Amino acid sequence: MVEDNRLGNDPETTSTPQAIVGGEDEKTVKLLSQMLETNVLEIKPQLDYASESGYFYPVAEQILGVKGGEVVSIMDSLADRGILKRDFFDRLLRCPQCQSINMRPSTHCSKCGSGDIARGRVLEHFLCKYVGLEEDFVSKGRYICPKCHQELRTIGSDYQSLGLLRKCRSCDEVFHIPLIKWRCLKCNSLTAEDKITEVNIYSYRFNEEKKSWLEFELQPKPQLVEFLKQRGYEVTEHATMKGRSGAEHIIDILATRDDGVVTYNIAIGVKIAGDEVALSDIFDFDDKAYDIGIHDKILVVVPGLRREAEKFASQQRIKVLEVRDLETVLSSGAPKPSEEIKKEPFEFKSKSQLIEYLKRLGYQVEENAEVQGRSGAKHNLDILATKDDGLVIHHIAMGIEAAEKPIELDKVFDFDDKAYDIGILDKVFIAIPGLSREARQFTQRQKIRVFEVKELEPSG
């Protein structure tokens, strides 16, 4: 039986081969960074018969500050994800009684199991059929049969040599292949070969193909996550989301933030290719984001994009960042105080209070903004709020509609149409004193955030 020394085959980590190092514990990150920095590209085991497992990884133990099985399970989990490659190093035999690897083989009679066997040239006396070791025939320089005591004279005519064989001193069996048993030098027990536990041990080397991916995971990615968190985003790495099609998608980094006015979702995809990121990668990412319904899309590409992919990305309003660009964004420093998260209820009694509120949230506000749509038509937006959070520029189209009774569908429809023509996807509608049922249903379908307000005081 072959038992693998691999521990920690946790299904959660193995089911996602691309799992992120960011979610990893410090030790793993330390091991990988050290391997990269110091160019330790292979971690080899060292045999140690005194230890319980029989081997250890001195370099990894030194880096990780832990010993034995824990080291092996960290390296195996990295190997399961293709970050390290596992090479066969040796196979150890382990005593099934006491687990020691201090095992010595011994040969035994294949018939009776006795250890009292001799090895040598075996002769057969034709006359009496006696078969025995040559040394047992020798007597004063002649061959005398120990059974019938006749002299053996001519090989081939009265006796023959059967070759080098073994003979059991206990049961006289003559045989070619002895039985191997293993003596444990620790607990002294004797174990048949098929009952021995075999343990494969491996050396681990760095998977060069994963190098740029890993460099990204270890350096800019945690910084990007931190950057987003500082700006009030909730960040989920490796987020699983269900699309409108029913399919489940995984977004490398999902950043979500509700600032009280609009809920922002940013899908960040990470594409690392050996050469250049291809068009199909951009398609995949764009399809995913579309199916989930996320319009703020950022794609981090290492090393860069092909020209046709670049063109498609800009058409689809995907912001593409190479690691260099990302570093520029990340070094832009901590957010201004106005960009800190404020958990105050979105309440306002007048339009001027609303604008005040938006400004406090860090928006640039333009009232009665004249904006040209894609159709060429000029539109008037009650409020156009813009905010650059360093990574994405958010535009919100806001419509304010006041009437004696609930606002009807046609008004909301007009507003949505306008926003669509301008190309703004974050939409807020303020309805005084409220919305009709059809109008509300429409806003839900069109993802328009609605604030129903009883009355609005004239701005002063």
Summarize as ranges the residues that interact with Zn ion (CB under 5 A). Answer: 95, 97-98, 100, 109, 111-112, 114, 125, 128, 130, 145, 147-148, 168, 170-171, 173, 184, 186-187
Compute how many other C-beta atoms are within 10 angstroms of the C-beta atom of residue 147: 15
d(CA 284, CA 273) in angstroms, rounded, equals 14
Question: Which residue bears the tokens 């939409």?
Answer: 427
CA dihedral (296, 301, 304, 308) in degrees, to 10, reads -40
Residue closer to Zn ion, measured from CB, 123 or 241: 123
Q: Pick from 62, 67, 75: which is nearest to 28 by CA?
A: 75
As measured in angstroms, the least distance from the Cβ of 230 to Zn ion is 58
CA angle 202, 204, 210 (to 5 degrees): 145
Closest to Zn ion by CB, 173 vs 438, is 173
* CB of 179 vs Zn ion, minimal distance in Å: 10
Nearer to Zn ion, 179 or 400 (CB): 179
Among 191, 194, 198, which Cα is nearest to 2's? Answer: 198
**Which residue is it, tokens 């047992």?**
136
Toward Zn ion, which CB reaches closer, 98 or 403?
98
Question: Shortest distance, CB of residue 77 to Zn ion, whole angstroms?
Answer: 30
How does strand 318-322 pair with strand 296-302?
Answer: parallel
Q: How distant is the alpha carbon of residue 360 from its chain centre? A: 40
Burial class (CB in 10 A: 0-12, 13-18, 19+), 153: exposed
Secondary element (H or E) of residue 212: helix 211-218
Q: Which is nearer to Zn ion, 100 or 353 (CB)?
A: 100
Which residue number, 171 or 402, has a Cβ lying nearer to Zn ion?
171
Closest to Zn ion by CB, 18 vs 170, is: 170
Distance CA 394, CA 381 (A): 16
Shortest CB 116 distance to Zn ion, Å:
8
Least distance CB 161 / Zn ion (angstroms): 15
Number of Cβ within a 10 Å radius of residue 104 = 10
CB of 7 to Zn ion, least distance (A): 22
Least distance CB 151 / Zn ion (angstroms): 10
